[in-house]
Amino acid sequence: MSINKDQVEGRVKEAAGSVQQTAGKAVNSTSQQVKGAVNKVAGAAQAKYGDIKADLKDSAKDTE
């Protein structure tokens, strides 16, 4: 399976969002928690998009 830019960037955003969310909880900042949660979800979506893109690319190679 190949790894693409969307997979890497998505997982990095997801991890950063998780850290931001946890930091928001630590300092009792609701806005930081929400921003972290949004970044976490956006990162997961981007990573999933990258996964699908890689699967399609791998499938195309198999049919050649």
pLDDT digits (tens, 9 = 90+) for 15-59: 999 999 999 999 999 999 999 999 999 999 999 999 999 998 888
Domain ranges of the chain: 5-59
The secondary structure of 22-57, three-state, reads HHHHHCCCHHHHHHHHHHHHHHHHHHHHHHHHHHHH
Average pLDDT, the chain: 93
pTM to 2 decimal places: 0.84
